[in-house]
Amino acid sequence: MKAVINRRYGSPEVLEIRQVPKPAPKAGEVLIRVHATTVSRTDCGMLRPHPYFVRLFAGLRRPKRAILGMDFAGEVEAVGTGVTSFKPGDRVFGLSPDVYGAHAEYLCVPEKGAIAAMPADARFGEAVVCEGAWYADTYLQGFRLKPGRRILVYGASGAIGTAAVQLAKSYGAKVTAVVATRHLDLVRALGADRAVDYTAEDFTQIGETFDCVLDAVGKTTFFRCRRLLKPEGVFAATDLGPWCQNPLLVIWSLITGSRRVIFPLPLSSKARAFVDFLKTRMEAGEFRPVIDREYPLEAIADAYRYVETGQKTGIVVINVRPPGENAPA
């Protein structure tokens, strides 16, 4: 099968599209014929780990995972012994958070992993939305978001931000989305109650306070957002922050008690339940994919270069099979 191999760390030029042996499903595993995947900021971070300590997880001298790609959508090609929930021909989507491997024509995932039947009527390329949404939901769960709570999402135009706006709305929250001018209409269409243009005004001076502030793009700080928080308000960010301050602030705010900082991490053990949940939200029309660009597998290095700019809107899809094969059943 064709796969995108990264044997060493570096720029997208190190990626090689090679023929490698097709995996065979072991007991309890499902072999998926991948139709679509994404290039995410996580993939970019695994290709060029930063800060350096990320290599403790990604591989000290060279990448532990030779094939990246966490989101997948495709058809079940074969199942290992003991598998009862899926059969060949089933259309499925999901996440492979432990082994990655979706930048390839075939991928094996555990039957009990983060895999579900495709949302009704979705194209494969529209279903590869789990990763950013899973991170977004991890923060919203950390906030214990309830109906009527007010949340500000800073950087609401990326994969995590667009998902956070939609999921927060589906939990009944009042959402203020902070984006650049070009994304104002998008976040309104996603359900934001208020859209603020960070290029035109200081988003910290908008005359409102919030129960939760999520920096969905890692570009602001707790100290800048502090004045936006109610006394019992909570701040979270998707990045470590300058000098890794966000995890340290978690400890500090446990001591001080007010205007807390949280830094929840997505747990693989919860990914399956999340994929099932996202399917229900998509089928209810409460969550839709925001697709910026689509690339064929052969042009994946270009996709990495684009995602690395930090300018994408929502997700960047890789069509592993020709898009003509990528239609609802």
Please tell me the count of residues contacting ligand NAP according to CB under 6 A.
26
Q: Which is nearer to ligand NAP, 64 or 182 (CB)?
A: 182
Q: Is residue 161 a contact point for ligand NAP (CB under 6 A)?
A: yes
Q: Specify whether the CB–CB gap between 172 and 147 falls below 8 A.
A: yes
**Which of residues 49, 63, 113, 132 is near ligand NAP by CB under 6 A?**
132
Instruction: Give Cβ neighbours of residue 68 (< 8 Å, ≥ 6 apart).
Output: 4, 6, 43, 46, 47, 100, 101, 102, 103
Single out the residue of 12, 23, 25, 155 in contact with ligand NAP (rule: CB under 6 A): 155
- The verdict on 48 binding ligand NAP (CB under 6 A) reads no
- Please, how many CA atoms are within 13 Å of residue 315, restricted to the half-sphere of its CB? 29
The smaller minimum CB distance to ligand NAP, of residues 56 and 255, is found at 56
Our finding on whether 135 is near ligand NAP (CB under 6 A) is yes
Q: Binding to ligand NAP by residue 238, rule CB under 6 A? A: yes
Question: Which ranges constitute the DSSP H helices of the chain?
Answer: 41-47, 55-58, 130-143, 159-170, 184-189, 222-225, 245-256, 271-283, 300-308
Q: How far from 136 is each of 234, 270, 302, CA to CA, in Å?
A: 15, 13, 26
Q: Rounded CA gap, 82 and 28, in Å?
A: 6
- Can residue 130 be called a binding residue for ligand NAP (CB under 6 A)? no
Helices 130-143, 159-170: crossing angle, 10 deg rounding: 50
CB of 103 to ligand NAP, least distance (A): 16
Nearer to ligand NAP, 196 or 301 (CB): 196
* From candidates 4, 102, 151, 159, binder to ligand NAP by CB under 6 A: 159
Q: Fill in the per-residue mask, 242 to 271: x = in contact with ligand NAP (CB under 6 A), - = not in contact.
A: ------------------------x-----
Closer residue to ligand NAP, CB minimum distance, 122 or 179: 179
Report the C-alpha gap between 175 and 150 in whole angstroms: 6
The strand order across the sheet containing 260-262 reads 194-197, 174-179, 150-154, 210-215, 229-237, 260-262
The piece of 84-92, 112-120, 153-161, 243-251 that touches ligand NAP (CB under 6 A) is 153-161
Q: Which residue is nearest to ligand NAP (CB)?
A: 158
User: Tokens for 301?
Assistant: 């290095």
3-state secondary structure of 300: helix
Binding of residue 310 to ligand NAP (CB under 6 A): yes
Rounded to whole angstroms, the Cα distance separating 19 from 146 reads: 49
266 to 305, contacts with ligand NAP by CB under 6 A? 266
Closest CB 263 distance from ligand NAP, rounded Å: 8
Of residues 173 through 232, those in contact with ligand NAP by CB under 6 A are 179-180, 182, 198, 216-219
169 lies in the site for ligand NAP, by CB under 6 A:
no
* CB of 147 closer than 8 Å to CB of 171: yes
Residue ranges binding ligand NAP (CB under 6 A): 40-42, 132, 135, 155, 157-161, 179-180, 182, 198, 216-219, 238-239, 266, 310-313
